Chain A
Amino acid sequence: MTGRPSPQLDVDRLIDDRRTRIIVCCGSGGVGKTTIAAAIGLRAAEHGRHVVVLTVDPARRLAQSMGLTSLDNTPRLVQGIKAGPRQAANDAEPAGSLHAMMLDMKRTFDEIVEAHADPDRAAQILANPFYQSLSSSFAGTQEYMAMEKLGQLRRADEWDLIVVDTPPSRSALDFLDAPQRLARFLDGKLLRLLTAPAKVGGRAYLRALNAGFGMVTGVLTKILGTQVLRDVQTFVSALDTMFGGFRERADYTYQLLRAPGTAFLVVAAPEEDALREASYFVERLDTERMPLAGLILNRVQQVPAAHLSAARSLAAAEVLQASLAGNTQPGHAVRGHPGTGHAGADDDAPARQLTIAALQLHADRMTQAAAERRIAGGFTAAHPLVPVAEIPAQAEDVHDLEGLRRIGQSFGSD
């Protein structure tokens, strides 16, 4: 890292602190957020916490890695949780548990409608084409429902730690903004304009028809046609009665995120785009006075032979290549005969080939590691106070609890 080293992020301390009740993993798409959230959940459970992991990503392999055939809107118990070092030392302390669930955004939205509207009205809303479109496809709906689900889990109070994996937004900020946007929309000016005719009838509507509004409805009719506008109005007025306090609900989740006991972890890969998003997010959390615990830098290239520079490695590979070109005839592949006792130049050929591959690979990794350090250095220079934890790149995809556990080991000192 360039400049002053960042403070070390101690994830273990965070999960061992019983006051931590919610951990939000955020970051841009493709950085391994879901896996990190699951690894944190497992680690916390094995440290004796009762954990539920809420994911929004339909990662089949991840579900399988937790021994679940699939994840759904109901928390499922994950088997195979081991007692951690603290339980071994202190038998009085009960072992932890891990549940996992995947957000079903439409189901969650439907449940809100069913809970807050009388059956007739609920049926009417659920059947409306605009409701169906809104509840199943608007990107912001997913963010809003994730927050709604988080609120539900928190109120249920069955778990002492909730780990949330945020939706794979195009930008990490969507997750903070979308619920507000949805709320703003649902009690916005335009909505009142659209509901006006349906609510109070034609005459009042005509009275409200000042120049601006008239033009707007005129244009909307032109673009959408009268039928669509009518569908929208029906839908909105149905929602209106039910979501009177929509903004209050969004505000409540916002407050929940600000409350003591909530910790944000920003996840990023050591790449320009991901760290740029991470920077925005860190600054935004600061503005919103939301508690940032630190940055998890995922998939950091590890180089065991770090004392051999890329340049020396490549130079050595060239030496070997030159020696091979001088010593072997084309098409004359020499299979090694170990134990023949004769170590002629030709017998060395396979060893040299292997070494060339190793040295070239090593040079690549050194270059990559240097690039990652430079990119990460940009972040840490701009945010010197943000604690950072590095997670080594894994050679293979995570397939099982053991894989998640391995990631978790980078969180602590044991």
Chain B
Amino acid sequence: MATRDTDWDGVRLHVVTGKGGTGKTTVAGALALALATDGRRVLLMEVEGRQGIAQLFDVPPLPYAERRIAVGPGTDAHPGGDVFALVADPESALIEYLQMFYGLRHAGSALAKLGVMDFATTIAPGLRDVLLTGKAAEAVRRKDGSRGRTYDAVVMDAPPTGRIGRFLNVSAEVSDLARVGPIRGHADTVQQVIRSPETVVHFVTLLEEMPVQETLDGIAELRTLGGIRPGAVIVNMTRPLALPSRQLQAAAAGKLDQAQLAIGLKSAGLDDSHGLAGALAAELAEQARTTLGQEEQQQRLDTAGQPCYRLPWVSGGIDLAGLYRLAWALREQKAA
């Protein structure tokens, strides 16, 4: 297998978080595709029961089972690999866990019927989260006889930035509640995976005030938890405005020379009789103000000192072609 030179060589669990509306699921999907190269096997995992992966890859709703859903983009030199998907829910994970470790097949279903998941999510939300992170840890560690590790990488579409610290540190929280006992042992194992150098947490953001603030807060929070590694900041939906800085400033201030636009439009054979130059100048002015605001936000992000990738805005919404485009963009920037 060809050696790679990416920013995350050696990382096997990529946790992808982001504020709602930043395109976290899309980026997780693109990252899974990008990682699926040279015959590598990648598991893309969803934990919030939204069937976001199925919608993204345009396949029917996915069950609690690992299914191959896509092939990573390949070239002659570097053929693609396989992307598998798993929709993990705490109830199925609990039943599987009981069966795997205690051989309790029917007990699990009985517990589910009695409302044990209500119990778990209510009284000890940590229990729910530890089942989900536990499933990811299991997939990371799983081996099958012939080829060593079952998956070369696991990408988790994780809860939003506001909850990520608690979600990942949950094993520690469970440990606080359960000082001894089997659940404690399980939590400790999960914690080892989450806190190993094989795990990083990527933050998806837009260049807007709130998502940037949450990203910075989230990175700072992870740092206080000790051993949970912040990964990249992935700026999604960037739409640079191709104007020299001087013009950008002028446009933002509403001082763009409309006569210039009128000249340009005339050369292009467009008729300016409907006030086209004025309307286009208004569009430029708005976009210029947005762009200047975004530059400010980018500088704030840079203070976090994490690697930063930029993904282009895909006009008209994300379809499969758009998703592959984002995957290539991630590879070009050595994210995968």
Which residues from chain A contact B225 at a C-beta distance below 8 Å? none
Q: Mark A267-289, 1 if CB is under 8 A from B, else 0.
A: 00101111000000000000000
Which residues from chain B contact A364 at a C-beta distance below 8 Å? 239, 313, 315
Task: Summarize A's interface: helix, strand, loop or mixed.
Answer: helix
A123 is an interface residue with CB less than 8 A from chain B: no
Q: Which of B128-165 contact A (CB under 8 A)?
A: 159-160, 162-163
Please give me the residue from chain B that is nearest to A365 by CB atom.
B283
With A30-B20, A134-B123, A360-B242 as given contacts, are A190 and B317 in contact (CB-CB < 8 Å)? no
Stretch at the interface among A6-14, A69-77, A313-321: A313-321
Q: Which of B98-134 contact A (CB under 8 A)?
A: 98, 102, 104, 107, 110-111, 114-116, 118-119, 121-126
Q: Mark A224-255, 1 if CB is under 8 A from B, else 0.
A: 11111001100110000000000000000000
On whether the beta carbons of A351 and B263 are closer than 8 Å, the reply is yes
B197 is an interface residue with CB less than 8 A from chain A: no
CB distance from A351 to the nearest CB of B (A): 4
Which residues from chain A contact B160 at a C-beta distance below 8 Å? 29, 168, 170
B184 is an interface residue with CB less than 8 A from chain A: yes
* Chain A, interface residues (CB within 8 Å), range: 35 or more
Which residues from chain A contact B313 at a C-beta distance below 8 Å? 364
On whether the beta carbons of B241 and A129 are closer than 8 Å, the reply is no
On whether the beta carbons of B268 and A359 are closer than 8 Å, the reply is yes
Which residues from chain B contact A307 at a C-beta distance below 8 Å? 274, 276
Which residues from chain B contact A59 at a C-beta distance below 8 Å? 210
Please give me the residue from chain B that is nearest to A60 by CB atom.
B213
On whether the beta carbons of B316 and A308 are closer than 8 Å, the reply is no
CB distance from B58 to the nearest CB of A (A): 12
Stretch at the interface among A80-88, A90-98, A366-374: A366-374
Residues of A within 8 A of B (CB): 28-31, 59-61, 129-130, 133-134, 137-140, 168, 170-171, 181-182, 184-186, 188-191, 193, 212, 215-216, 219-220, 222-228, 231-232, 235-236, 269, 271-274, 303-305, 307-308, 312, 316-317, 319-320, 323, 336, 343, 348, 350-352, 354-362, 364-365, 367-368, 370-371, 375, 395-397
Q: Beyond A59-B210, A350-B260: 12 further Cβ-contacts under 8 Å?
A: A134-B125, A139-B125, A216-B107, A219-B98, A220-B111, A225-B178, A225-B184, A226-B181, A228-B183, A269-B21, A351-B260, A358-B284
User: Closest 6 interchain pairs by CB?
Assistant: A30-B21, A225-B181, A355-B264, A29-B20, A30-B20, A305-B279
